[in-house]
């Protein structure tokens, strides 16, 4: 090139940046879900794979369709739609029929995300919007939880369902170790607390998720249910049981920590985590649904703009003059 005609780039500082990117974050989160998904396939068989494949294809597909239609730019391959699909699969029973998955994906991508203006604009976690929509609209399908290791389509109640309908006495045979490993009925991804913890630990190490939210979420559920267990152990289940059942781990580690729908500041995250835990415990103990994680998170998502506004970080220099 003729050096005298060479054009230099004019740009705003800084002339450098980290190697992180939106798609790298999304894909890393997806990859850390592999251990939990592996346990699901072990417990529920190939049905889990079927649900996972369908949600992934449907979610990315719907986002691709919408990208043709809306006026703003949608990067449907940035990994966020795929992550939504994977997390949606983890929130559905492995016996879900294909049409339920189709509706769920449309609700997640359409109603949960794109109606707000796409990535980063949604107030509520798209996956949980979809899950709550399905729980309310299709209560029958969403209460048929395949039995672990049955592989024959037979279904039963989740441990929390048993607790809600038959009381604490019916739980005498369950072992906490089995629950932690994921040997219980439930949705595809919620069952194995330990593998979820493994994946999330990596994300906390990479600083992709804030540790405050899951720690306070799970901690609050533990303390709150623990208080009631101490008051009356014959009516209320023990807090360790509450910790390892239902969607608490996937909710606290992967749903409540969603960057878009959780607060921006540390103070906000602390309140958010405690709030999620509180509402989860209240719904589990006193509500008519056996499980309250998704409702609690969606409810707290609604508070996030307020938390961001009223709990900002302390500005430097807010001291008395001189």
Partner 1 sequence: MLLRTFKRGGIHPPEEKLSADLAIEYGEIPGSLLVPVNQHIGKPCNVLVKKGTAVKRGDVLAEADGFVSSNVHAPVDGKVQKILNFPQLGGQIKECIQITPDNPGESYQSVLEGDTFQEVDVDGLDRDEIRKTIAKAGLVGMGGAGFPTHVKLSPPPDKTIDTLIINGAECEPYITADHRLMIEKSDELVRGIKILQKLFDDVMIYIGIEENKADAIETLEQATKDEVKMKVIPLKTKYPQGGEKQLIKAVLNREVPSKGLPMDVGVIVQNVGTLKAIYDAFFYQRPLMERVVTVSGNVVKRAGNILVPIGTPVSYLIEKYEIDKSRIKRLVSGGPMMGRTSYSFESPVSKTSSAVLFFDDSVYDTRDENPCIRCGNCIAVCPMGLPVAQVTEMIKANNVTPDIKNYIMDCIECGSCSYVCPADRRLVHWMRFGKNIINREN
Interface residues with partner 1 (CB under 8 A) are: 1, 3, 6-18, 20-22, 24-25, 75, 78, 80, 118-121, 207-208, 210, 259-266, 308, 312-322
**Six token digits for residue 51:** 């649900």
| CA distance linking residue 260 with residue 108, whole number of Å | 14
Which residue, 69 or 316, has its beta carbon nearer to partner 1?
316
- Name the residue with tokens 């709550």: 132
Q: How far is the CB of 206 from partner 1 (least distance, A)?
A: 11
Before 83, cis peptide (omega within 30)?
A: no
CB-wise, 26 or 274, nearer to partner 1? 26
Residue where the block lists tokens 């919408």: 66
C-beta closer to partner 1: residue 4 or 288: 4
Distances (CA, A) of 184 to 17, 193, 246, 285: 45, 11, 9, 20
Residues 287, 293: Cα–Cα separation, whole Å: 12
Smallest distance, partner 1 to C-beta of residue 13, A: 5
Do residues 270 and 246 lie in contact, with contact meaning Cβ atoms separated by under 8 Å? no
Q: How far is the CB of 311 from partner 1 (least distance, A)?
A: 10
CB of 269 to partner 1, least distance (A): 8
Q: What angle do CA 65, 66, 67 make, to 5 degrees?
A: 90
Minimum CB separation of residue 220 from partner 1 in Å reads 21
Q: Which is nearer to partner 1, 10 or 231 (CB)?
A: 10
Pick 120 or 139: Cβ nearer partner 1: 120
C-alpha to C-alpha distance for 208 and 26, rounded to whole angstroms: 9
């Amino acid at each position: 090139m003729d050096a005298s005609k060479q054009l230099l780039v004019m740009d705003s500082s800084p002339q450098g940046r980290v190697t992180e990117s939106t798609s790298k974050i999304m894909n890393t989160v997806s990859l850390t879900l592999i251990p939990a998904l592996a346990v699901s396939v072990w417990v529920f068989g190939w049905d889990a794979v079927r649900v996972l494949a369908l949600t992934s294809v449907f979610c990315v597909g719907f986002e691709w369709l919408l990208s043709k239609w809306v006026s703003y730019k949608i990067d449907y391959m940035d990994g966020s739609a795929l992550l939504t699909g994977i997390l949606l699969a983890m929130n559905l029973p492995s016996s879900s029929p294909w049409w339920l998955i189709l509706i769920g994906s449309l609700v997640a991508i359409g109603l949960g995300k794109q109606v707000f203006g796409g990535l980063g604009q949604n107030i509520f976690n798209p996956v949980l919007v979809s899950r709550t929509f399905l729980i309310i609209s299709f209560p029958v399908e969403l209460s048929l939880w395949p039995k672990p290791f049955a592989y024959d389509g037979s279904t039963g109640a989740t441990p929390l369902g048993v607790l809600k309908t038959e009381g604490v006495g019916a739980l005498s045979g369950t072992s906490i170790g089995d629950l932690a490993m994921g040997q219980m009925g439930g949705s595809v991804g919620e069952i194995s607390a330990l593998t979820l913890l493994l994946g999330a630990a990596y994300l906390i190490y990479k600083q992709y998720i804030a540790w405050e939210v899951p720690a306070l979420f799970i901690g609050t559920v533990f303390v709150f249910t623990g208080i009631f267990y101490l008051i009356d152990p014959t009516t209320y289940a023990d807090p360790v049981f509450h910790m390892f059942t239902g969607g608490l781990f996937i909710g606290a580690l992967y749903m409540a920590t969603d960057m878009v729908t959780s607060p921006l500041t540390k103070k906000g995250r602390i309140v958010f985590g405690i709030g999620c835990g509180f509402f989860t415990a209240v719904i589990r103990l006193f509500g008519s649904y056996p499980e309250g994680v998704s409702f609690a998170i969606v409810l707290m998502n609604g508070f996030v703009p307020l938390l961001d506004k009223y709990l900002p970080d302390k500005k430097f220099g807010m001291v008395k003059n001189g």
